[in-house]
Chains A and B, each alone.
Chain A
């Protein structure tokens, strides 16, 4: 779907009467990937990138007003290329002063990305679309406002909720559980104890997927003399081979050296870069456990849920358990079944469970 095509949700409201039913959608609008789960059984995920043809020539070549996900990545040289989210929120909404033009362009890209994600769920034009969008645990009011603003244009009604909370709600783990949601922009830790988590129950760390890419890139620059590579190439290597486990097969990749493809063994660099994600997480887990009711601390330590795209690093659950044993005397980490869809599934469940009169008030 292009940016000009009719969008589902509100924009199509005038086109047909919405009397067929209601489609619930849960959306995890992430820095790296946007995932959607819908009540028609559709689940899709797309890289959170948007590109608009740079000029008339590229427009004619690409035959599209906007490209999304992998298609945008492949054609990025011919596009005005946006990754509209940073640290889980729309760029420019986090207090960072951006030139107005750039902030507006990011907001437009985020809106188009959201519209595209909803179109992937294939809603019928005669159905209402109600959505819950996950936001980082400590997203500011300004961040959340911008998310609402973007979503309001493409959904008939929208609510925002904390991403790690959505993960726990989706799995019905509401009591004494710690959720670690590792995204590209942030690692969100959230302590659930049967009520809505407040500020003291949540910690957001910047040491997430993008940060790991940065670490690996630094190590490769030190160790792979003469190799030419970009951050995107490092990210691709990480997505394919990330692990914290000892042993296993060597990771050999090809990087050009003065134009000639050359093989490099990057096993240690990838492993070391990935391992650096563990200490800040365990430190924060320690804080959340230590400030909890002592009677329930052991239970909390043994109910740690690992979610988010970053949780797919091989052996991460065991590595966190090991570090918890040293730092906290033990603990148990459970990686959720579908890390990429955990947030979206939870948001979908919240959307479904939300009483009709609540939705009515937001339409």
Chain B
């Protein structure tokens, strides 16, 4: 043990000791007290520490730190450093996977929304059955022509045939395009779901504590996007809903 430790022990003892006057002690009936000098005390502590270290094989015969112990300590320090670096890397990788999971979840959510919209669009884009075309043409001719009814009927029938062929072709084209879009979106949703499942299982495999609940795809409050179709009309509708709710909340309070 080097001298600085003994000095520190002395200073520690000096700071921790209390003093009593002889008169005080006499008043309390103390006439004899055992005395141990600070140097003596420091020497005893030093001896006890050295004996313990020797017993544990950390000091050699000359009282110096054993090379083996030193090596072990250094090894342990290196190990601690390595583990800390590993933990940090693992934390970063976990955060990255979690971010990816969030991102995939968002993509799945948006793709599913687009798929739903495409399906609705596909159904709503299909025009009304061509049976109404005959009625419309008949009305048109009745209002604008003074031909005999048989003539109008034959023109209407001919026109209807032509139109319905054209409409059928247009519907077939629209349906093909719509179903292609739906198929693409279906495939995309499938792929994204697969990627999401893999990322989630990676996260679980890394032993990251699963966050309670499922995170929203939004980190901040959103609001209608100004680039959205019918932005101003939607904004007005939302304002109306909000105003009605403010009134309602006031009354509820």
Contacts of A128 in B (CB 8 A): 221
CB-based contact B221/A359 at 8 Å: yes
Which stretch of A145-153, A207-215, A223-231, A255-263 is in the interface?
A145-153
CA distance A271 to B115 in the complex (A): 33
CB-based contact A125/B212 at 8 Å: yes
Assuming the contacts A41-B108, A194-B233, asked whether A353 and B223 have C-beta atoms less than 8 A apart, the reply is yes
CB-based contact A358/B220 at 8 Å: no
CB-based contact B242/A39 at 8 Å: no
CB-based contact A159/B245 at 8 Å: yes
CB-based contact A196/B120 at 8 Å: no
Contacts of A8 in B (CB 8 A): 213
| Chain A interface category by residue count | 35 or more
Assuming the contacts A41-B108, A169-B237, A195-B237, asked whether A20 and B223 have C-beta atoms less than 8 A apart, the reply is no
CB contact list, B208-250 vs A, under 8 A:
211-224, 228-230, 233-242, 244-246, 248-249
Answer yes or no: A24 CB below 8 A from chain B CBs: yes
CB-based contact A20/B116 at 8 Å: no
CB-based contact A41/B237 at 8 Å: no
CA distance A334 to B128 in the complex (A): 11
Assuming the contacts A149-B252, A159-B245, asked whether A39 and B217 have C-beta atoms less than 8 A apart, the reply is yes
CA distance A323 to B124 in the complex (A): 20
CB-based contact B234/A353 at 8 Å: yes
Answer yes or no: A5 CB below 8 A from chain B CBs: no
Contacts of A121 in B (CB 8 A): 214
CB-based contact B217/A362 at 8 Å: no
CA distance A31 to B237 in the complex (A): 26
Assuming the contacts A195-B236, A350-B241, A356-B221, asked whether A39 and B216 have C-beta atoms less than 8 A apart, the reply is yes
Answer yes or no: A174 CB below 8 A from chain B CBs: yes
CB contact list, A294-334 vs B, under 8 A:
302-303, 330, 332, 334
0/1 string, A141-161, CB within 8 A of B gives 1: 100110011001000000111
Contacts of A127 in B (CB 8 A): 213, 215-216
Answer yes or no: B2 CB below 8 A from chain A CBs: no
Answer yes or no: A123 CB below 8 A from chain B CBs: yes
CA distance A141 to B250 in the complex (A): 12
Q: Whole-angstrom distance from the CB of B84 to the nearest CB of chain A?
A: 26
Contacts of B244 in A (CB 8 A): 160
Contacts of A334 in B (CB 8 A): 120, 123-124
CB-based contact B249/A130 at 8 Å: no
Answer yes or no: A246 CB below 8 A from chain B CBs: no
Answer yes or no: A60 CB below 8 A from chain B CBs: no
CA distance A330 to B139 in the complex (A): 15
Answer yes or no: B55 CB below 8 A from chain A CBs: no
CA distance A354 to B235 in the complex (A): 8
Contacts of B233 in A (CB 8 A): 174, 194
CA distance A24 to B224 in the complex (A): 13
Assuming the contacts A141-B248, A159-B245, asked whether A124 and B211 have C-beta atoms less than 8 A apart, the reply is yes
In this complex, which of A40, A123, A173 has the most chain B Cβ atoms within 10 angstroms of its Cβ?
A: A40
CB-based contact B242/A358 at 8 Å: yes
Q: Whole-angstrom distance from the CB of A344 to the nearest CB of chain B?
A: 12
CB-based contact B105/A40 at 8 Å: yes
Answer yes or no: A116 CB below 8 A from chain B CBs: no
CB-based contact B248/A172 at 8 Å: no
CA distance A122 to B216 in the complex (A): 10
CB-based contact A160/B132 at 8 Å: no
0/1 string, B93-124, CB within 8 A of A gives 1: 00000000000010011001000110110011
CA distance A21 to B211 in the complex (A): 13
Answer yes or no: A205 CB below 8 A from chain B CBs: no
CB-based contact B221/A130 at 8 Å: yes
Q: Which chain A residue shows the least CB distance to B228?
A: A353
Contacts of B239 in A (CB 8 A): 358
Answer yes or no: A42 CB below 8 A from chain B CBs: yes
Answer yes or no: A237 CB below 8 A from chain B CBs: no
Q: Which chain A residue shows the least CB distance to B219?
A: A21
Q: Whole-angstrom distance from the CB of B203 to the nearest CB of chain A?
A: 15
CA distance A176 to B128 in the complex (A): 16
Contact partner of A41 among B105, B211, B248, CB < 8 A? B105
Contact partner of A124 among B128, B213, B229, B245, CB < 8 A? B213
Answer yes or no: B71 CB below 8 A from chain A CBs: no
CA distance A132 to B165 in the complex (A): 46
Contacts of A173 in B (CB 8 A): 124
A-B contact pairs, 16 of them (CB 8 A): A21-B218, A22-B216, A23-B218, A39-B218, A40-B214, A128-B221, A141-B251, A149-B252, A152-B252, A160-B244, A172-B117, A172-B230, A302-B128, A334-B124, A353-B234, A362-B242
5 new A-B contacts at CB < 8 Å, known A20-B219, A121-B214, A353-B228: A21-B216, A22-B218, A39-B109, A40-B217, A41-B112
The 5 A-B residue pairs with the shortest CB-CB distance in the complex, in nearest-first order: A124-B213, A23-B216, A356-B221, A353-B224, A196-B240
Chain B positions near chain A (C-beta within 8 angstroms): 105, 108-109, 112, 116-117, 119-120, 123-124, 128, 132, 211-224, 228-230, 233-242, 244-246, 248-249, 251-252
Chain A positions near chain B (C-beta within 8 angstroms): 8, 20-24, 38-42, 121-125, 127-128, 130, 141, 144-145, 148-149, 152, 159-161, 169, 171-174, 194-196, 302-303, 330, 332, 334, 336-338, 345, 350, 352-356, 358-362
